[in-house]
Amino acid sequence: MIYYAILLISFFIIFLFIRLNRVAFQKLAKSSLELVNGLMAETDEDEKIKDVQQKTNGLVAALFKMFLVIIIAFAVGSIPIIIYALVTETNYQELDFSSFYAILFLSLGATIPFIIPSGKKKTSDYSELSQLLHRMALDNYNISNRLFKREKKKIRKKGLKQRPDFVIVSGLARAGTTSLMNDLSEVDGFVSLNYANMPFLMAPNTWRKFYKPKTEKLKERSHKDGIMIGYNSNEALEEYFFKVKADDAFIKADHLTEYSISEETYNDYLDYQNIIKPDDKKTYLAKNNNFILRYNSMRNYNGEFIMVLMFRDPLTHAASLMEKHIEYQKLQKEDPFVLEYMNWLGHHEFGLNQKPFVFNAHEYNNPYDKTSLNYWLKNWIYYYQYILKIDHPNTLLINYDDYCKNPGIVVKTILQKTPLNSKIPEFQSFNNSRKTNREFDKNLYEEAQQVYAKLIDKANSGT
């Protein structure tokens, strides 16, 4: 029986060492997929060969590290067995590794390291396996695009028509866009991406075959603003589509830039909407604060889609953005995966990788520190001065205060622009007032108030 206990200890040591060095196996999985992603690239051959060689070298290095971990693990884990053989003067060929008890204790030794608590403080809501899956699914654009083409081919066989009358809710972050999207999604006929579609956002139907979350448990989202989310909750996830199609070309080192989409990307976007919708009687709905970066080129292809742009009192809006920026900097330092997650989805509104919008026709200059209320006021002015120049009958300006007082009327106004003839649910008005004691430049505030007054006039006039 002592021998079997030693077998258990040996395999416990082996697999404990492997568990402690599991990063080597995770790196191998990532490197393997990165090589496949490189092979799928539709780039210049010389550039592709160079990239594939680099990724091959990375894969070989990952393989070497993995084998090294395994060799060391078995070398260290064999020590108790070697000592037992030497003390008992047992020939190694006589050691039992195949009997029922031997297999039982080997299995126990290999299992225990993976079920005992690690003792580390949990820093993320996502497990290591979940994080690895997200990285593999979202870091490889060529694979994502290939999966999309596969789903597009399937959806076209169903004969779904491309519909140009989709609805986009947008605006500067913290303007109430999520709340409005959630209210609209309660109207029968709208369909949106939701958390259950993560992380295979370019192939949601394929992913749905393997992943069908049943829990309805809700939790407050990381913004800590009272909005509860679950797997079936709608979220701003479509930006990943545009990131893949543009290969992040509009995401610069310190800003997000306005750009034009191609006609091919526009048609793919309509196909993508059909992938999300179960039938062509449904209307696609999305919240996307980055949509403004491609708004003009999208309008060149389509005058029918509804763009809802929300705005809010500049001082309270700027204060909310600044507070979230400070909170998310802290959160992302404590849990780096939050930063990765936000980068994947193009969420650069606040946090360690905050990037302002920069529109090609307008010079951007913001000399203030990001922990200053003036920085966020300046961004507010720059953004909404650009919004004031937009003039289209299917682009609606919505005042956040009006929405808070009469959400049902706002939803009805938007629905009148769509082909939907659905019953509007009962919505409760709410008060979301905010005060700030932060210092700010009075001249900057007055300039913001002037822009705000013009936004109100434009929203009230419906032009």
Give the model's confidence band at 91: pLDDT under 50 very low, under 70 low, under 90 confident, else very high: confident
- Number of Cα atoms under 13 Å in the Cβ half of residue 52: 15
Q: Which residue shows structure tokens 């106004």?
A: 413
Residues 387 and 289: their CA atoms lie apart, in Å, by 12
Residues 60 and 40: their CA atoms lie apart, in Å, by 19
Residues 77 and 66: their CA atoms lie apart, in Å, by 16
Percent of the chain with pLDDT over 90: 71
- Nearest by Cα to 222 from 58, 342, 114: 342
Give me 176's structure tokens.
């109430």
Residues 199 and 34: their CA atoms lie apart, in Å, by 16
Q: Which residues pair with 170 in a beta bridge?
A: 309
Lowest mean pLDDT among 187-191, 264-268, 396-400: 187-191
Q: Which residues pair with 396 in a beta bridge?
A: 308
Q: What is the pLDDT of residue 443?
A: 95
Residues 189-216 have pLDDT tens digits of 999 998 889 999 999 999 988 887 765 6
Question: Helix, strand or coil for residue 414?
Answer: helix
Residues 120-133 have pLDDT tens digits of 666 778 888 899 99
Residues 15 and 25: their CA atoms lie apart, in Å, by 13
Mean pLDDT of 156-175: 92
The answer on pLDDT for 229 being more than 60 is no
- Which whole-number Å values give the CA distances from 349 to 149, 182, 353, 370, 422, in the listed order? 30, 20, 8, 12, 33
Q: Where are the beta strands (DSSP E) in 176-321?
A: 190-191, 219-220, 228-229, 256-257, 283-287, 306-311
- Number of Cα atoms under 13 Å in the Cβ half of residue 392: 18
Single-letter amino acid code for the residue at 402? D
The strand pair at 395-399 and 283-287 is best described as unpaired
In the chain, % helix, strand, coil (3-state, to 5) comes to 55, 5, 35
Q: What is the pLDDT of residue 322?
A: 95
Contact 106, 11 (CB under 8 A): yes
Q: Considering just the CA atoms, what is the radius of gyration of the chain in Å?
A: 27
Lowest mean pLDDT among 181-195, 221-235, 255-269, 435-449: 221-235
Q: What is the sign, positive or negative, of the torsion defined by CA atoms of 413, 419, 424, 429?
A: negative
Q: Is the bond preceding 199 in cis, omega lying within 30 degrees of 0?
A: yes
Give the model's confidence band at 119: pLDDT under 50 very low, under 70 low, under 90 confident, else very high: low
- Nearest by Cα to 188 from 428, 427, 424: 424
Residues 154 and 271: their CA atoms lie apart, in Å, by 11
pTM: 0.89
The answer on pLDDT for 231 being more than 60 is no
Bigger pLDDT: 4 or 278?
4
Burial-class residue 217 by CB neighbours within 10 Å (0-12, 13-18, 19+): exposed
Single-letter amino acid code for the residue at 335? D
User: Which domains does the chain carry?
Assistant: 2-120 (no CATH), 151-461 (3.40.50)
The answer on pLDDT for 444 being more than 80 is yes
Give the model's confidence band at 233: pLDDT under 50 very low, under 70 low, under 90 confident, else very high: low
Residues 405-436 have pLDDT tens digits of 999 999 999 999 999 988 888 888 887 766 77
The answer on pLDDT for 222 being more than 70 is no
